[in-house]
Amino acid sequence: MAKANIITRTMLTPNSAIAIVDDFAACGWVVEVIMPEWPLDRRLFAVGVELAADAEESVLLYPGVLRSDQRVARRRLSSAELSDLRLRVAAVRSFGWIAHGQDDP
């Protein structure tokens, strides 16, 4: 599985500049998971990997998500979302859910 680029930052001290590596993801995906036992509910995950296929595979690391569940990478995370989430490389984080009622299309 390919890893996303690692963001680096530089901390200045009075005598030198020290590069500190944060393992925050430079890119990521929103992945939707549809579980057969709850077909009207869709779970969303933020995944800190570069490729959509890797993001779909990575959500299997989250408890309760099974290989038989339908997984679709819906969109890339924006840089603002990545910053707000402080999402790390290869991390999988719950991002919410969508509940569809019986009357919804």
- For 22-38, how does the pLDDT look when each residue is reduced to its tens digit (9 = 90+)? 689 999 999 999 988 88
Q: Helix, strand, or coil here: 79?
A: helix
Which pLDDT value is given to residue 14? 52
**Residues in a beta bridge with 15:** none
CA-nearest of 35, 42, 21, 26 to 66 is 35
* CB half-sphere exposure, 15, CA atoms < 13 A: 0
At 99 the pLDDT is 80
pLDDT digit string (tens) for 37-90?
Answer: 887 889 999 999 999 999 999 999 999 899 999 999 999 999 999 999 999 999
Report the 10 Å Cβ neighbour count for 76: 15
